[in-house]
Amino acid sequence: MKLAFPLLAALLVGLAIGFFAGGHFAPAPSASTQALPREAQPASGVREAEPPLENVAPPRESVSTREAQAATEDTRSAVEDLIGPRLREYARQGIRTAWKESRSDEISDERLEFGMRDFESSVLSLPAAIGRRLAAERSREELLARDARTGGAFALLDKLSKTPTPMLELATDPAAMQALLARASPETTVRAEGLGKSLAKQLESGKTYSYPAGVFPIELNFNGLQQVPQEVTIAGAGMDATLLVLSGDIFADKPLQRFSIRDCTVFTNNNYLFDQRGAPATVLLERMRVVGFDMGAGSSCALGFSSGGLVLLARDCRFEGGYGRNPAYGQLMDIRSPALVARMERCRVERVTLGADRLSADSTLLFSQCTLSDLLDPQMRFAAAEQRLAYEQALHAKPGLVFQGTTISFFDNAAWNLPLTSWDVPARDLNELFPGWQQALGH
């Protein structure tokens, strides 16, 4: 009897607990609770029916993932539109070729696709990078141009030697280039035919030394002079009338300011026309022909300016190979300074190596309405047509090198009945331009 009573009591307590837990005796809501809106009322013990699963918003993480996937798909579509199949195949072949240059195996598909993503990213970001670079260059150019207007061409060259910057706006403006080389004083003409061969020590600043038609020897070595004359002009009676025969290069160990040659033919006599080393120069060439610089020694060039910097304006000039002792190795220029601003207008460059591909990326060289004919650039002498086209395109893409209305052609051995692999270039006789020039010179 003592054992039955506790068991009966435990059973009654369990039933009571289960009864109340089932909610059968839940208290009625108070007046204050009834006044609350439905969503603000405290949860009761009775669960409402749950909405269908498809009407429930997914967690925040799921929404972000779906949006990210959609954005990725949009980006991929945009990339596919921008980067066409030919460019994409070009990139794949380039990656494979470069891989094989370093390794004996083939690049895996996974690494190739990783490389393609890198390529796509680079292509898409490149225009913005170029835009920022061009804007920075233009800002520097404007600043340097203002300095040039106040300090002159030599102030500009000094700044360019320290802060190399392509000066495209300046080079494309003929009036600005002319102003940069403007004389500080009016021309005073001096008859030059009676001065003899050695001119360097006789020249005076601001004078124009005029030669009539004929053949005349000259020497213009300014090295060692205490004062190099400034704003000197050497003038002839016309490109086909006056022949000046150099006995050596034109060069100075001090700045050469606005040195001008016009209306004549200069036979450099197997020398450079200019071989200016270490000091800056500003040069104006007009309606002149330069021949005889293709001697096959050194740079074998017409215009040699090693490190001092150069402002050059050449108009209606001709630089013609074939008249030196080694016609296969003439070169237009060898300029080893980023401090270069050169404009060539209506000039003809014929049977020489252009040499423009070796210019500093920060220099400026503009060909405007020029004819570049029978060029001897070594990599193009025996190249196929598509290789020549690629080389031209590379020249046009070079920063600071501009071709405006300019034609380019390369020397063709077949046109001269030469063996296809021959480096020979036909020599030309100066007597065809100036008959009996050696006799007239006294040789």
Annotate 69-101 with DSSP letters as a single string.
HHHHHHHHHHHHHHS-HHHHHHHHHHHHHHHHH
pLDDT at position 356: 81
Amino acid at 296: G
Say yes or no to pLDDT of 43 above 80: no
Say yes or no to pLDDT of 217 above 50: yes
Read off the pLDDT band of 297 (50, 70, 90): confident
Read off the pLDDT band of 230 (50, 70, 90): very high
Q: Cα separation of 206 and 414, whole Å? A: 50
* 3 state SS of 27: coil
pLDDT at position 196: 83
Least confident of 12-26, 65-79, 150-164, 287-301: 12-26
pLDDT at position 244: 97
Least confident of 11-15, 247-251, 277-281: 11-15
| Tens-digit pLDDT profile for residues 328-381 | 999 999 998 899 999 999 999 999 999 887 888 889 999 999 999 999 988 777
Q: Is 440 exposed, middle or buried (0-12, 13-18, 19+ CB in 10 A)?
A: middle
Q: What is the mean pLDDT of residues 149-174?
A: 86
| Tens-digit pLDDT profile for residues 101-160 | 889 899 999 899 989 889 988 888 888 888 887 777 777 666 666 656 666 888 889 888
pLDDT at position 316: 98
pLDDT at position 129: 86
Least confident of 149-163, 231-245, 251-265: 149-163
Amino acid at 205: S
92 contacts 119 by C-beta, under 8 angstroms: no
Sign of CA dihedral 269, 284, 338, 159: positive
pLDDT at position 143: 62
The rounded mean pLDDT for the chain is 82
Question: Nearest 5°: phi and psi at 255?
Answer: -55, 140
Q: Cα separation of 364 and 373, whole Å? A: 21
- Other beta carbons within 10 angstroms of residue 406's beta carbon come to 18
pLDDT at position 236: 98
Supply the Cα-derived Rg of the chain in whole angstroms: 41
Q: What is the mean pLDDT of residues 254-267?
A: 95
Query: What pairs with residue 313 in β-bridges?
Result: 284, 343
DSSP class of residue 326 equals -
Q: What is the mean pLDDT of residues 88-102?
A: 90
Q: What is the mean pLDDT of residues 198-220?
A: 93
Question: Nearest 5°: phi and psi at 124?
Answer: -70, -30
Give Cα separations from 184 to 218, 258, 284, 315, 402 (angstroms).
Answer: 26, 10, 14, 21, 30
**How many residues in the chain?**
443
Least confident of 36-40, 65-69, 217-221, 264-268: 36-40
184 contacts 177 by C-beta, under 8 angstroms: no
Quick one: which of 264, 277, 266, 185 has its CA closest to 231? 185
pLDDT at position 2: 42
Percent of the chain with pLDDT over 70: 79
Say yes or no to pLDDT of 11 above 60: no
Percent of the chain with pLDDT over 90: 44
The angle, 0 to 180 degrees and rounded to 10, between the axes of the packed helices 60-82 and 109-151 is 70
